[in-house]
Structure 1
Amino acid sequence: MKEYQTITEVSGPLVFAEVDEPVGYDEIVEIETPGGETLRGQVLESSEGLVSIQVFEGTGGIDRNASVRFLGETMKMPVTEDLLGRVLDGSGNPIDGGPEIVPDDRQDIVGEAINPFSREYPEEFIQTGVSAIDGMNTLVRGQKLPIFSGSGLPHNELALQIARQATVPEEEEGDEGEGSEFAVIFGAMGITQEEANEFMQDFERTGALERSVVFMNLADDPAVERTVTPRLALTTAEYLAFEKDYHVLVILTDITNYCEALREIGAAREEVPGRRGYPGYMYTDLAQLYERAGRLKDREGSVTQIPILTMPGDDDTHPIPDLTGYITEGQIVMDRDLNSQGIEPPVNVLPSLSRLMDDGIGEGLTRADHADVSDQMYAAYAEGEDLRDLVNIVGREALSERDNKFLDFADRFETEFVQQGYDTNRSIEETLEIGWDLLSMLPKEELNRVDEDLIEEHYREDAEEAEAVQAD
C-alpha cells in the first residue's frame, strides 16, 4: 500500500495526483479527506509521475491536503449464491437492511475474456411470455438482445414483465440441464427515485426478488459510479452462471445514462471527442459489456443480456443505438405511435430483429410451425402497413377486397397479438395459436410462406367464413 499527499488538481469527478512509483491501470484508491471521510476511486490513467483517479462517491470535500492510498489491486465484487434476493447500490454495497455479505470469492469486475473456442453457440429458447418477442423476435440463451426505446415509453414496464416471467422451459433443458435454475440480475443506472420505488414494489409484489440480484444507481448518485454498476452486475451473473450453473438473465437500464457518464468523464479528462461528443472508445467500452453474454461448452449455466437504452430524440442513428446494433444480435424496438394507441407493450416488430431466432425455434419445445407463422405474419403485417399509407391517399373504398383483408390483419395483429398488457404471461403455444387465428383471416393462397401441410393442419376455415359473413 502506497500513500501520498500530492493531489495537484480536482476536476469534476477526477482527482490528479503526483506519484514517484508506477501505479497500475484500474487500481483501487482510497482518498481520506481532511474531514476524516474515506472515499473510493479507481486509477483511470497512469503516466510517469502523474495519475488521474475517478472517484466513485464524487469529489466533494477533497482538496490538496487529502491523502491518497493506492491499494495495489483492481476492484473486485464479493460473490456468493446468497446474493440472490439482495438489493445493492451501484457500488455493490447492500442497501436493503439485510446482513453483510459473506462472500465465497472476490472476482475482478472487468472479468476475463471468453475464448471463442470455448463458447457454445446460443440455440436454446427462453420464454418471456411476451408474444411480440417470443413469436416474432425470439430470445435465445446466451444472446444479447437490446430494447431500443425512447423517453417516456414504458420500457421499464416491459423490463419488469420479462424479469418476472422469463423461464427456461423444461423440455429444452434435456437430461443434462435438469435442475438448472434461472436467476435475474437487474442493473439500474441513473434512474430516478420514483423509478427505483416502482421496480422494488414490483419485485416484492411478484416474488421475483427471491431469484434476483438488484443493483441500484440513482440519478443523484455520482456519474462515475455508473461505469462500475454494469460490471458488478455482470461479474455476479458470470459467477452464478459458470460456477453455480444458473441460467441468468441480465437486464441493464439505462445504457444511455451509462454512455452519458462516459462522455462526462471524457470531458473532464479533456479527451478529443468523437461523434456528438462521446468518447471515440465508446464502441470498445460497450463491447466489453455486451460480449460478456454467452454460454461455455463445459458449463451448464448461461448469461443472457437485455440492455435497455432510450434513443435521444427517437433517433436510431444516434451513436448509442448505432454502436449497440453493431455489437448485439438484434434489437426490440418500442414504438411511440403504438404507445399512443394504448398498445401494451408497444413493440414494433417490423424494425425489431433477433438474429439468433432461427436457431432457437423449431424442434423441441416450440412447434415446428413457429418459423413459418412468424415469417408469414411479418410479411402480412408489413403489407398492411404499406396499405395504410395508400389509404391516406386514395381512401379505403378504392382498395380491393384482398387489400382490405391485409388492412384488417394489420389492425388485429396490433390489438390481439402485440397487445397483451404487462400482467399477461403467454406460453409459446398460446402465442402461435393467436398467430394462426390471425393468419386464417387471409385466403389460403396468400399464405405463401407457410408449408402446405401446416396450412391443412392449422388453418381455421370457420375464420374465413366468419370474415365473409361479417363483410356481408
Structure 2
Amino acid sequence: MLFDLHAEDLVTAIEGPLVFLRRNVNVGLGDAVEVSHAGGDGRIGRVVAIDGDQVVVELLEDTTGLGIEDARIRFLGEPMLMPLGTGLLGRIFDGLGRPRDGGAPVAARVERRIDLAVINPAERGLPQDFILTGVSAIDVLNSLVRGQKLPIFSAGGLPHDKLATSIAQSARLLKEDGQDFAVVFCGIGVSHDSAESFRAAMEHSGALEHTAMFLNLASEPTAQRLLTPRYALTAAEYLAFDEGRHVLVILTDMTNYCEALREVSASHGEIPSRKGYPGYMYSDLATIYERAGWVEGRPGTVTQLPILTMPADDISHPIPDITGYITEGQVVMDRELDHRGIYPPIEVRSSLSRLMDQGIGEGFTDPDHPSLAQQLFASYARAAQVRILSSVVGREGLTPTDRLYLDFGDRFEAEFVQQTGVRELEESMEIGWRVLSLLPPVELSRLSDEQIATHIRAETASG
C-alpha cells in the first residue's frame, strides 16, 4: 500500500542521509521510501528505525537541496526489490541495481527482495566440482570449488583489482558448457578510474557477454555500499536457481563495505565494538557470505570470491578475522612478493582452500592433482625454512640438499607463482612437475614411485 505524505508538520530534521519523520502511518523496518521536493526527482531511501512516535529514513542518494518544508514522502509499503529477467547478462548496473550503461531497464519477469534469507542449511548440498580461474597458485594449490566462498586477502597497493579482473575474464568450469557459466562482478566503493578500468577490460575481452556488473562508486552515498552486494547476490541467485547457471560472484572490496557499515552504524548512534565496528558485523557479513552454495534439487550454484584489503596488512584485523571464520579458507596476497615483481603475489603457505578435496582429483581434474599439490606445498615450506637458515650461515654453509631447496624456492616463485597470462590447468600442472624435478626423488615423499617415474623423470629427461 502506498502512502503519499507532504512534509508539512511531518519532517522534523534532516541530518546527512537521515530524514527524521513524525510517525503517522504504519510502516515496516526496511521498507522502501521515496523522498522528493518541488521540481526535483524522487530519491530512494529505506526505513532504518522506528519508535513510538518517530520514523527514521536513510536516503541512498544525495540529500543536497532537500528542505524540511517542501519535501514529499512516499512510503512504498514494501521492502527494497530488484527487477529480474533474462536480460541481466551483458549489462552494467549501479549500486542500486539501476542500469549504468545507458540501456533500458531489465524486462522484469519477477521482482525479489534484496535481503532474502541465506540458504537453509537443511537444503544445502556439499560444494563440489572445480572452477578454473587461470591462476596457477589458486587452481593447483588452493582450488576454487563450485558453491564455495573463498576470499582473497590483499593489502593496500597490491594488484587485487588486476587479479579480480583477470579471474572474471577467464573463469569457467572444466566440464560444463560455457553457456551454463556466468559471472556477477560487484565493485563496492570503487573509484571512477577503477570502475572504468573494470568496464573496459570486460568489454574488450568479450567477457561482459556472460557477466552482470554492479559498480558502486566511492563518490556515491555511503549507505549504498551496504546494498550493492545484496543487489548483486539477488541477481546471482536468479541466474543460478531460476536459469540454472553456475555463477561466480566477485565482490571487491569488502573492506569498503565494512567501513561503510561502521560509518552508518555510528550515524545511527549505535554502540561501537572492536575497533569501532558494530558488534553485529559478524552476523551482517554472514548474511552476505552464506548466500553462496547450491540447493539440493535445484539447478545452478552460487560461488563467491570476496576480495578485501587488510588494514595495515594485519590479518588479525576484525574484517579478515571475521571473514575467515565465515568462509572456507583464504588466498593471501603478499607485499614482499609484490616488491620483487612477482604477479600475482600469492603467498601459498598462508593460503588455504578448505573444500579443495571436493573439487580435484579423479573425476574432477586429474588423478595426480592432489599429490602434486601436497608435494609442492611441502617442498616450498621446506624451502622457506632453508631461506631462514641461509640468512644465518650463508649459502656455503648449507648442505647440498638444502641448496637444492633454496633453488627450488626461487624457481617455484619465478616460474609457478609468477605468470603473465591466463593458464590452463594442464599448463599449471606441467610447470609444477618441472620445478619439482629440481629435487632428488628421495625428497618427494608425497609422490608415489609411479608418479615420480611418469612425471619427474620425464621432466628431467626432457630438460
TM over 0.5: yes
- The answer as to whether partners of 2:86 and 2:107 remain within 8 angstroms in 1 is no
- The answer as to whether partners of 1:35 and 1:61 remain within 8 angstroms in 2 is no
Letter of the aligned partner of 1:8 in structure 2? T
Residue 2 (structure 1) aligns with: 3
For 2:250 and 2:459, the matched residues in 1 are separated by: 43
Alignment of 1:144-163 (within 5 A): 144-163=149-168
Aligned residue among 167, 170, 173 for 1:165: 170
Residue 325 (structure 1) aligns with: 324
Kindly state the Cα deviation for residue 20 of structure 1 after the two structures are TM-superposed: 2.5
Question: CA 1:283 to 1:416, structure 2 compared with 1: closer, same or farther past 3 Å?
Answer: same
Kindly state the Cα deviation for residue 461 of structure 1 after the two structures are TM-superposed: 6.0
Residue 59 (structure 1) aligns with: 63
Runs of 4+ in 1 over 4 A off after TM superposition: none
Moved more, 70-79 or 49-58: 49-58
Letter of the aligned partner of 1:88 in structure 2? F
Kindly state the Cα deviation for residue 343 of structure 1 after the two structures are TM-superposed: 0.8
Q: Equivalent residue of 2:350, what SS?
A: strand
Kindly state the Cα deviation for residue 462 of structure 1 after the two structures are TM-superposed: 6.3
Q: Equivalent residue of 1:348, what SS?
A: coil
Residue 352 (structure 1) aligns with: 351
For 1:141 and 1:12, the matched residues in 2 are separated by: 42
- The answer as to whether partners of 1:180 and 1:245 remain within 8 angstroms in 2 is no
1:112 aligns with 2:117: yes
- The answer as to whether partners of 1:21 and 1:49 remain within 8 angstroms in 2 is no
- The answer as to whether partners of 2:434 and 2:459 remain within 8 angstroms in 1 is no
Question: CA 1:216 to 1:31, structure 2 compared with 1: closer, same or farther past 3 Å?
Answer: same
Residue 458 (structure 1) aligns with: 455
Task: Give TM-score, length-normalised by structure 1.
Answer: 0.94
- The answer as to whether partners of 1:128 and 1:165 remain within 8 angstroms in 2 is yes
* CA displacement 1:77-131 (0-9 Å, x = unmatched): 1111211111111111112122232111111101233221211111110011110
Moved more, 285-294 or 52-61: 52-61
Moved more, 2-11 or 439-448: 2-11
Residue 29 (structure 1) aligns with: 33
Kindly state the Cα deviation for residue 455 of structure 1 after the two structures are TM-superposed: 1.7
Residue 123 (structure 1) aligns with: 128
1:76 aligns with 2:81: yes
Residue 38 (structure 1) aligns with: 42
1:218 aligns with 2:217: yes
Letter of the aligned partner of 1:228 in structure 2? L
- The answer as to whether partners of 2:4 and 2:73 remain within 8 angstroms in 1 is yes
For 1:401 and 1:461, the matched residues in 2 are separated by: 23
1:371 aligns with 2:370: yes
Alignment of 1:190-209 (within 5 A): 190-209=189-208
Residue 393 (structure 1) aligns with: 392
Kindly state the Cα deviation for residue 453 of structure 1 after the two structures are TM-superposed: 2.3
1:100 aligns with 2:105: yes
Q: Equivalent residue of 2:235, what SS?
A: helix
- The answer as to whether partners of 2:129 and 2:364 remain within 8 angstroms in 1 is no
Moved more, 29-38 or 103-112: 29-38
1:238 aligns with 2:243: no
Question: CA 1:331 to 1:415, structure 2 compared with 1: closer, same or farther past 3 Å?
Answer: same
Residue 16 (structure 2) aligns with: 12
* CA displacement 1:353-374 (0-9 Å, x = unmatched): 1000011111114111111111
- The answer as to whether partners of 2:332 and 2:351 remain within 8 angstroms in 1 is yes
Kindly state the Cα deviation for residue 35 of structure 1 after the two structures are TM-superposed: 4.9
Q: Equivalent residue of 2:26, what SS?
A: coil
Aligned residue among 410, 423, 426 for 2:423: 426
Kindly state the Cα deviation for residue 197 of structure 1 after the two structures are TM-superposed: 1.3
Aligned residue among 435, 440, 443 for 1:438: 435
Question: CA 1:465 to 1:41, structure 2 compared with 1: closer, same or farther past 3 Å?
Answer: closer
For 2:333 and 2:137, the matched residues in 1 are separated by: 11
- The answer as to whether partners of 2:159 and 2:344 remain within 8 angstroms in 1 is yes
Q: Equivalent residue of 2:349, what SS?
A: strand
Letter of the aligned partner of 2:28 in structure 1? G
Q: Equivalent residue of 2:351, what SS?
A: strand
Gaps of 5+ in 2: none
- The answer as to whether partners of 1:184 and 1:248 remain within 8 angstroms in 2 is yes
For 1:401 and 1:192, the matched residues in 2 are separated by: 51
Letter of the aligned partner of 1:325 in structure 2? G
Q: Equivalent residue of 1:459, what SS?
A: helix
Letter of the aligned partner of 1:19 in structure 2? R
Letter of the aligned partner of 1:72 in structure 2? G
Residue 305 (structure 1) aligns with: 304
- The answer as to whether partners of 1:129 and 1:426 remain within 8 angstroms in 2 is yes
Letter of the aligned partner of 2:424 in structure 1? S
Letter of the aligned partner of 2:82 in structure 1? M
For 1:37 and 1:8, the matched residues in 2 are separated by: 21
For 2:80 and 2:459, the matched residues in 1 are separated by: 64
- The answer as to whether partners of 1:343 and 1:418 remain within 8 angstroms in 2 is yes
- The answer as to whether partners of 1:118 and 1:297 remain within 8 angstroms in 2 is yes
Kindly state the Cα deviation for residue 34 of structure 1 after the two structures are TM-superposed: 4.4
For 1:294 and 1:446, the matched residues in 2 are separated by: 39
* CA displacement 1:368-426 (0-9 Å, x = unmatched): 111111111111111111211221111111000010111111100000000112xx222
* CA displacement 1:304-351 (0-9 Å, x = unmatched): 101111111111111111100000011111111111111111111110
Letter of the aligned partner of 1:104 in structure 2? R
Alignment of 1:79-90 (within 5 A): 79-90=84-95
- The answer as to whether partners of 1:39 and 1:57 remain within 8 angstroms in 2 is yes
Letter of the aligned partner of 1:446 in structure 2? E
Alignment of 1:242-253 (within 5 A): 242-253=241-252
- The answer as to whether partners of 1:77 and 1:106 remain within 8 angstroms in 2 is yes
- The answer as to whether partners of 1:56 and 1:224 remain within 8 angstroms in 2 is yes
- The answer as to whether partners of 1:224 and 1:265 remain within 8 angstroms in 2 is yes
Alignment of 1:276-287 (within 5 A): 276-287=275-286
Letter of the aligned partner of 1:378 in structure 2? F
For 2:214 and 2:462, the matched residues in 1 are separated by: 54
* CA displacement 1:223-255 (0-9 Å, x = unmatched): 111111100000000000000011111011111
- The answer as to whether partners of 2:142 and 2:353 remain within 8 angstroms in 1 is yes
Q: How many residues align?
A: 458
Q: Equivalent residue of 2:385, what SS?
A: helix
Residue 470 (structure 1) aligns with: none
Identity %: 51
Residue 254 (structure 1) aligns with: 253
Provide the alpha-carbon RMSD of the alignment: 1.6
